[in-house]
Amino acid sequence: MPENSTHLEELRKRIAKAPTSSGIYRWLNAKGDVLYIGKAKNLKNRLKSYVQKEPDKALGPWKLSLIKHITDYDVTITQNELEALILETNMIKEVKPKYNVLMKDDKNYVYVRITKDAYPVLSVVRQMEDDDARYFGPYLSAYNIKRTLNTLHDVFRFRACALSTDALNRDKKPERACLEYQIGQCNGLCVGDVTEKQYNESVEAVMRFLKGDHTDAVVALKDMMESAAKHNKFERAAKLRDTLLYIESLDVPQVVSDTSRENTDAIGIALQSGKAQVVVLRERNGRLVEERSIALAGEADNIGAVLAELMPQYYSVETDIPDLILIQEEIEDQELLEAWLAQIKERQVEIRAPERGKKSKLLALAESNAKQKVSQQFAKWEAAAKNIDTALKELQEVLGSDNTFKRIEGYDISHLGGTETVGSMVVIKNGKPANKEYRSFTVRTVKEGEVDDYKALKEVLGRRLKYLEKRDESISISRLKKKERDLWAKTQKDRLEIPKDWREEVIVISKGEADLLTLDARKSSKGKMIYGTLTLHATDRDLQHAALDMLEDKAGKLEWYVQCDISEDLAFIHGLSKSAKPIPDDFKPGKKAVLHRRSTTEDFSLKSRPDLLVIDGGKGQLSTVVEVLKDLKLDIPVIGLAKREEEVFLPGESFPVDLPSNSQASFLLQRLRNEAHRFANAHREKRIAKTMVGSALDEVDGIGEKTKKELLQKFGSVDVITDASDEQLLQILSAAQLAALRGNL
C-alpha cells in the first residue's frame, strides 16, 4: 500500500507528539465520522502501528480498508488500562463504528447484585435493573468474579441455597436440607446451622470486600494458601494464589464506570494563547459513554468567564440535561443558572465544583483531555508544512527582513514572588520546536525577594549571547615558564600552597603590553579540577569579558574553585557563583571569596547563531535586550511579544507592528512564547522542589546523601517520611539517625 499512503504523512508527524499514556483512540474519515474505536496502554505506540510506511504484510483486508479511509484521529486519555477497557466498551456500544466488531448479545462486564431482603441474595448479573438491590462493579471478567466469590465462600460462609432464602424471605421454614449443603456449597441456612444474624454478618463481610476493604479476606486467603501448600495441596494453593492476584487487580482505581447510576456532565477547559478548548465527559447511568470536544471562538481570559458564557449556549440546545454538572470553579449567577436548567429539565439540576472524591477525579480527567486536545491542535498545525511556510514568510514581511528565520529563540523570566528567579530559552528550527536545544538559566544577580525582570533578562541574555561575541584577535594568552613563574611569584602575596602531587600553572591573558587577567592555578594530573587565584587587571568591562572568554576556552571543561574579587554580574555571566565549598586547607587559602564554576561540555545550541530573538514582554524588556546586543556588538533581529493584546514591538518603535492576531505568524509567535513560559515554570518548580527536599533533610545530622536517597526512594517525599512510623524508618536509619530526624522534622 505504499503508493497509496501519502494521506498518512501528516498523521505520522502528528502521532509523533501523541500522548504515551493509556486511553482510547478513534480513527476518523474525511467527514469526521468515527470508523474505529480502540484502547491502548500506550496511545502513541498503538497509533504508530497503523501508519507505518511499510505496512505489516500480515494485516487483513479489513484493517487495510480502515487504513485507506482514515484521515484524522482523536484520543481520550485515561488514568489506567482498566479505565481504557471499560471506556472502549461504553463508546463502541454508543457509537457503533463501522470497523469495530459489535457484540450482538450486548455482553460486556458484569456486576454483583445483592438484594435488600431480610436474607439477602447474591448473584452475578450483566445488567443493572431499576430496583432496590445493591450493585457492585463493574467487573471485567465473569469467570474471575465468580471464582473469587467461590473462594470468599470458604472464608465468610455467606452462600445459602435458593431453597432456604426463598422460604425464609416469605417467613416460611425450609422443608429439607439441600444438595448444595451436602457437598459444602451451602452454609446450612436451610437446616438451621446459621442464624439470621450470622448470615447477614457474612453478607456484610462480602459487601465490605466488594467496596474495597480486602484486608480480612486477604489475610484469611493467605493462611489458607500456606496451609494448602504445607499439606502438599499445590493445586489448591495455586488457585488461591491466582485469586489473591485477581483481588490485587481490583484495587486499580477507575472513574469511567460505577454503580451510582448518576447522570453527570464533567466540563473540562484548557486555555492557551487566548483560546479555549472544552471537553465534556458525559456520564449516564453511572457509565462514561461519550466525550464531546468543543473549540471556542473569540478571546478567553479565565475559566470562570468561559463557563459563564458557554453553559447557557451549550444547554440551550442540549436535549439531555444531566442531574449534576461538574465545573472547575464556581461562577457568577450559578444559582440562577441552576434554576434555568431545572426549568428546562423539569427536575433539580446541581452545578458543583468538586474538590475531592470520585467526581473531582472525573473532572480532572476532563481537564486532562481538554489540554490534550490543545496539544493535538498544535501538532496538527505543525504537521501542515504550508502553515509553517506561511508563518515564516509573514514574519519576514512584517519585520522587513530579507533573511530566512531558520532558528528563532524565545525567552521568558519566571519567579515566585521574587524567589527562585529563572530564565528559559526555547528554540524553533524551521518552524518546529527543537526540544533538545532548549536551555534554562538560574538567575543569580536578582536577590531573594527582589522582583526585577529587566535585570534577570539582562543576565540570561548576557550568559547566552556571550558565546557569539566576536573575539579580539589582539588579545593573547600565555603560560609562564618556570623561571618566569619564579620571578613572578616573588612579587605576589597570599599565594596558594602547592601540595604534593599538585603542580602550579600561571596563565596570563594580555593585550599588547598590558596584562588583562592572571590565573595562578593548582592542577592535579589525576583530577579534572582547578584550584587557584584569579586576578583581573583590566578595568574596562569589554576587556574583562574578552579575557574571561579566552580563559574559558583554555580551561572551560574543567571544574574551577578560584579566589577572586570581581563584580557579581560579571561572574554570573561567565558561570562563576559563590561556592559553599572552601579551598581545601592543603592549599592554605587567602581571605578572598571563593567562586565556583562547574565542569562544562561544548554546547552546540548556545554556539548556534539565532536568526531572530523573541522576548516575552513589551518595550521595556525589548530595550534591555537591545542593550545587551549593543554591549556584545551583535547584530541579531529582536522583537517583543506583549502578553495582554498579543502585540509585537520592534526596537525603537513606539507602536506595535500590524500583525493580525489570527495570522499564521502570530500563532507561531504565541506558541513560542507559551513554550518559553512553560519551560521556565518547569525549571522553577524543579528548583523549588529540590530546595524543599534539601532544606529539610540536609539539616539532619548524621544523614548523608546515600541515606537521604534511600529515604526518598522508599517514601517519596519529606511529608511522607515525617508521617512514617519509627518501625518503618528504622529499616533504613539507625536509632541515632532516627532521633536526629525526629528532632528536626
Better-scored residue on pLDDT, 56 or 235: 235
pLDDT over 80 at 742, yes or no = no
Say if residues 362 and 266 touch (Cβ distance below 8 Å): yes
Given a cut of 60, whether residue 410 has pLDDT beyond it is: yes
Among the three residues 547, 572, 597, which one is the final residue of a domain in this structure? 597
Residue 704's Cβ-side half-sphere holds a number of Cα atoms within 13 Å equal to 1
Asked if residue 484 and residue 549 are part of one domain, the reply reads yes
- Helices in 490-565 by DSSP H: which ranges? 541-555
Higher pLDDT, 62 or 195: 195
Instruction: List pLDDT tens digits, range 626-668.
Output: 999 988 888 999 998 886 667 888 888 888 887 776 678 888 8
For the segment 458-482, what is each residue's pLDDT rounded down to a tens digit?
999 988 988 887 777 889 999 999 8
Calculate the CA dihedral of residues 322, 325, 326, 327 and round it to 10 degrees.
Answer: 140
Is the residue at 692 inside a domain?
A: no
Higher-scoring residue by pLDDT: 128, 530: 530
Contact 486, 576 (CB under 8 A): no
Last residue of a domain, one of 47, 65, 95: 95
- Is residue 258 a part of any domain in this protein? no
DSSP state of 587: G
Residue 89 lies in a domain: yes
CA-based nearest residue to 584, from 490, 485, 502 = 502
- % of the chain residues with pLDDT over 90: 7
Please tell me what DSSP assigns to residue 720. Answer: H
Per-residue pLDDT at 434: 87
pLDDT at 668: 83
Residue 185, CA distances (Å) to 142, 158, 190 in order: 19, 10, 12
Task: Decide if 631 is inside a domain.
Answer: yes
Q: Are 479 and 583 in a shared domain? A: yes
Same domain for 22 and 122: no
Q: How many helices (H) and strands (E) does the chain have?
A: 24, 25
Q: Clarify whether residues 245 and 205 are in a common domain.
A: yes
Per-residue pLDDT, averaged over 342-361, amounts to 83
Give the β-pairing of 638-642 and 559-564: unpaired
Distances (CA, A) of 621 to 77, 284, 457, 606, 640: 39, 52, 7, 21, 7
- Residue 411: is its pLDDT beyond 90? yes
pLDDT at 507: 92
Residue 500 has pLDDT above 80, yes or no: yes
C-alpha cell belonging to residue 535: 586576578
Q: How confident is the model at residue 104 (pLDDT cuts 50, 70, 90)?
A: very low
Q: Helices 142-156 & 196-210, crossing angle to 10 degrees?
A: 140
Domains in the chain: how many in total?
6
Q: In angstroms, rounded to a whole number, what is the distance separating the alpha carbons of residues 638 and 522?
A: 43
Nearest to 106 by CA among 75, 77, 127, 82: 127
Q: Using CA atoms, how far apart are residues 393 and 31, in angstroms rounded to an integer?
A: 31
Q: Are residues 613 and 540 in the same domain?
A: no
Pair (49, 177) in one structural domain = no
Domain identity same for 458 and 414: yes
Residue that terminates a domain, selected from 686, 708, 726: 686
> Which pLDDT belongs to residue 3?
42
Find which of 509-518, 577-586, 641-650 is predicted with most confidence, using mean pLDDT.
509-518
Q: Which of 205-214, 367-376, 484-493 has the highest mean pLDDT?
A: 484-493
Structural domain includes residue 104: no
Task: Judge if 164 and 119 occupy the same domain.
Answer: yes
pLDDT at 489: 86
Q: Provide the sign of the torsion angle of the four alpha carbons 36, 31, 362, 257, taken in this order.
A: negative
Q: What is the pLDDT of residues 256-293, one digit of tens each?
A: 555 566 788 888 888 765 567 888 888 877 777 777 77
- Residue 690 has a pLDDT of 64
Q: Is residue 100 part of a domain?
A: no
Q: d(Cα 425, Cα 583) in Å, to the nearest integer?
A: 33
Q: Which residue has the cell 548556545?
A: 606
Distances (CA, A) of 337 to 84, 349, 699: 33, 9, 54
Closest CA to 640 of 625, 661, 659: 625
Task: Taking residues 137-153, report their average pLDDT.
Answer: 77
Quote the pLDDT of residue 740: 80
Q: What is the pTM (predicted TM-score) of this model?
A: 0.53
Q: What is the mean pLDDT of residues 349-365?
A: 83
Query: pLDDT class for 378, splitting at 50, 70, 90?
Result: low
Task: Identify the weakest region by mean pLDDT among 85-89, 233-237, 648-652.
Answer: 85-89
Average pLDDT for residues 678-694, to the nearest whole number?
74
Angstrom distance (rounded) from CA 421 to CA 718:
24
Q: What is the arithmetic mean of pLDDT over 612-632?
A: 89
CATH number of the domain encompassing residue 368: 3.30.420
Instruction: Give residue 462's domain range.
Output: 384-468+605-686
CATH number of the domain bearing residue 588: 3.40.630
Cα 425 from Cα 433, distance rounded (Å): 12
Alpha-carbon gap, residue 550 to 569, rounded angstroms: 18
Residue range 691-713: mean pLDDT, rounded: 71
Same domain, yes or no: 88 and 129: no
Strand partners, 200: none
State the CATH number of the domain containing residue 45.
3.40.1440.10
- In a shared domain, residues 681 and 702: no
Higher confidence at residue 389 or residue 544?
544
Mean pLDDT (the chain, rounded): 80
Given a cut of 50, whether residue 106 has pLDDT beyond it is no
Determine contact, residues 122/145, Cβ cutoff 8 Å.
no
Both 120 and 242 in one domain: the answer is yes
Tell me, yes or no, whether 440 lies in a domain.
yes
Predicted confidence (pLDDT) per residue in 4-37, tens digit: 455 677 788 788 878 888 888 988 888 888 888 8
Reported as a single tens digit per residue, the pLDDT across 429-442 is 888 888 889 998 88
Q: Which strands, in side-by-side order, build the sheet including 122-125?
A: 122-125, 110-114, 134-139
Tell me whether residue 105 is in a domain: no
Report the percentage of the chain scoring pLDDT > 70: 88
Query: What are the grid coordinates assigned to 415, written together?
Result: 519567579
- Strand pairing partners for 521? 505, 532
Considering 342-356, 544-558, 628-642, the range whose residues carry the highest mean pLDDT is 628-642
| Shared-domain flag, residues 119 and 245 | yes
> Residue 615's pLDDT is what?
92
Per-residue model confidence (pLDDT) at position 281:
84
Q: Are 456 and 464 in contact (CB under 8 A)?
A: no
